[in-house]
Amino acid sequence: MDAASGDVLFARGQMAYSLGFHMVFAAIGIAMPLLMVMAEWRWRRTGRAQYLELARRWSKGTAVFFAIGAVSGTVLSFELGLLFPGFMELAGPFIGMPFSLEGIAFFTEAIFLGLYLYGWDRLRPAVHMACGAVVALSGLLSAVFVTLVNAWMNAPRGFRLDGGRLVDIDPVAALGSPFAVHEIAHGLLAAYMATAMAVAAIHAWALLKVPGAALHRAALHLALALAIPCALAQPLVGHSAGQAVAEHQPLKLAAMEGLERTTAGAPAHLGPVSIPRGLSLMAYSDPDAVVRGLEEFPAADRPHPVVRVGFQVMVLLGTAAAGWAVLTLALWLRRWRRGLPEARSWLWLTVLLGPAGVIAMEAGWIVTEVGRQPWAVYGVLRTADAVTPVRQLWLPFSLFALIYVGLAAAATLVLVRQVRQTTGEAR
């Protein structure tokens, strides 16, 4: 491997761990405002003090993680320009508008989060809840606008190629990438599911320590109300995403399944379990459809085998989350008049599956991003051609890694303190 190839890997690696870190806080920033508004709404409807306590605690947590997400997101914007100037030069006319809209959504979220935090005793109830709703909506819109950029990178539209140059540029048409709808839906559901399952796990753990605690029962109720529908809907959206990949990125599909040879009636694999004709059926709604294998594509264009690992992790954990949701819903309906399930076995299962949503979300983004390689813009711009000509990129890679280790340590300390405070005070 020559120095230039090594620098490409360092640039990609730096973006990878930066995005992986930021993704967690982006998901929290999308989902926690919705949970805090749900808690306040329940308080105003029922008058139960535990919902007010949850709304206040969750709003403080939202503020902390919003700040960390803002820092990591700002670093990403600088990295994108400094590490991949070739990408910014080519994609600037297309990504400028959605990134500008994302900036507006971000500042709107910051303003209304401040109003929500300091407006408990200063704003009328309806106005205060409206501020929280704007925070939740702004977080959602931020994710939508950023995901539109990623969808365009995977299936670019809104231009015409003329001798290697992009002409007849239409940034509005670029928003209509065929990947946009399923990426947005899949990403939002992943953020809501990951956050809600983690919150459910924290309060299930508290209920194992203090059975029947009203605060934790209320928190678990709200978390499940968000986690269950998202976990059930995610496999359906994932199926739609798989069909879009099969149509527009058949090489990525082959890499996801590790399909070496072109096969009619190709099987799908779920861990060690093989499903006959499953891949053909899922990808093309035809059990006898031909699925192109890796052999049909140049070796230089094939993504790293980690794509298959990420896909398997995502599918297995997503399936486990959906199964947990079905079980929980069945137990909940069975105990309709008595409330939530209380069996310790179910609480332990909820605790164990708490990290599943976050891990599945990260694995899904590995599939999306690594599966597009070696292209920065699929079929238009290779990543190696987008990287800065500056060499010795191992240095910023190492320095920023230390910075992110520090941020991760600080975030972990804050989270542990919040969890200990929450689980140690049962009501």
pLDDT digits 0-9 by tens, 279-318? 999 888 889 999 999 999 999 899 999 999 999 999 999 9
Q: If pLDDT is split at 50, 70 and 90, which confidence band does 424 have?
A: low
Segment 74-96 mean pLDDT: 87
The average confidence (pLDDT) of the chain is: 89
Gyration radius of the chain over CA positions: 23
Average pLDDT of 322-330? 92
Instruction: Please count the other Cβ atoms lying within 10 Å of the Cβ belonging to residue 76.
Output: 16
What confidence tier does 69 reach under pLDDT thresholds 50, 70, 90? confident
Predicted confidence band of residue 427 (pLDDT cuts 50, 70, 90): very low
Partnered with residue 14 across adjacent β-strands are: none
* DSSP-H helix ranges across 119-179: 125-154, 171-174
pLDDT band at residue 7 under the 50/70/90 scheme: confident
pLDDT at residue 341, rounded to an integer: 74
What pLDDT is recorded for position 426? 47
Report the candidate in 168, 179, 225, 249 with the shortest Cα–Cα distance to residue 35.
225
Cβ neighbors of 367 (< 8 A, separation 6 or more) are 252, 256, 307, 310, 311, 314
Peptide bond into 211 cis (omega under 30): no
- For 168, left (φ over 0), alpha (ψ -120 to 50), or beta? left
With contact defined as beta carbons under 8 Å apart, do 202 and 423 qualify?
A: yes
Most confident region among 86-95, 181-190, 205-214, 280-289 by mean pLDDT? 181-190
> What average pLDDT score do residues 148-173 get?
86
Least confident of 21-35, 150-164, 363-377: 150-164
State yes or no: pLDDT of 61 exceeds 90. Answer: no
pLDDT of residue 161: 80
Mean pLDDT for the stretch of residues 398-424:
79
What pLDDT, on the 0 to 100 scale, is given for residue 417? 78
Residue 422's pLDDT band, with cuts at 50, 70 and 90, is low
pLDDT score of 272: 84
User: Inter-axis angle of helices 214-248 and 3-46, to 10 degrees?
Assistant: 140
Provide the whole-model pTM. Answer: 0.92
In this prediction, residues 103-121 reach a mean pLDDT of: 92
Residues 8-17: what's their mean pLDDT?
A: 90
42/413 Cα distance (integer angstroms): 30
pLDDT category at 185 given cuts 50, 70, 90 is very high
pLDDT higher than 80, residue 158:
yes
**pLDDT of the residue at 52:** 92
